[in-house]
Chain A
Amino acid sequence: AQTVTQSQPEMSVQEAETVTLSCTYDTSESDYYLFWYKQPPSRQMILVIRQEAYKQQNATENRFSVNFQKAAKSFSLKISDSQLGDAAMYFCLTQGGSEKLVFGKGTKLTVNP
């Protein structure tokens, strides 16, 4: 079974500052994917960033980057130069061994102007 734990129900950041969202996971799979998705208020869920577990290099997408620590089963998301449009619910997910995504409970990010 796979589990995902997001220990920060809520986080806040000042506009233009950097914030890190934490995620730990557990899986018995040797080959799996990790994702961060965001869900803005009343809008649909969209992919932020993905990481293949076999890749040692941390994924980066513009202002978004991850710190993937495979041995520690940790997958944190760093948002640099935060913008008001980054305010959303952020979900950490894992996928491996089957098609289903396993979600964490989410972290609500508030961006203060």
Chain B
Amino acid sequence: DTGVSQDPRHKITKRGQNVTFRCDPISEHNRLYWYRQTLGQGPEFLTYFQNEAQLEKSRLLSDRFSAERPKGSFSTLEIQRTEQGDSAMYLCASSPSHDEQFFGPGTRLTVL
């Protein structure tokens, strides 16, 4: 296992379209996290899963955002009716415990 992977690495979409991102964590990690990073800022927490259970959600996660981790392995983050303000890098991280998080390369979303 070479680490956390995310797909796609880049996504360009038109305003109003739906997009879905995928994250594959390190296989033995039961914790999975999503963050959003805008230019010049540090990442901001979006949501957290332990196995398949979504245990914490940020207020940043509006009704247009939904995340799943159906079998406790990979996770998807969907954004419906995208807006220009959704343009950002979306980072996924995984962890085996309440400790170091291992980050993926991110998916850069551009909404035109």
A binds B: yes
Q: A-side interface residues toward B, CB under 8 Å?
A: 4, 33, 35, 37, 43-47, 50, 91, 93, 95, 98-106
- B positions within 8 Å CB-CB of A: 3-4, 31, 33, 35, 40-45, 48, 50, 55-56, 58, 91, 93, 98-106
Do A44 and B105 have beta carbons less than 8 Å apart?
yes
Q: How many A-B residue pairs have CB under 8 A?
A: 54
Chain A min CB distance to B26 (Å): 13
Is the CB–CB distance between A44 and B42 below 8 Å? no
Sample of 11 more A-B contacts, CB < 8 Å, known A44-B3, A47-B100, A98-B48? A33-B99, A37-B103, A44-B4, A44-B104, A91-B42, A99-B31, A100-B56, A101-B43, A101-B101, A105-B41, A105-B42
Interface of chain A, main secondary structure: strand
Closest to A104 in B: B42
Contact yes or no, A44 B45, CB < 8 A: no
The docked-state distance in angstroms from the alpha carbon of A47 to that of B31 is: 17
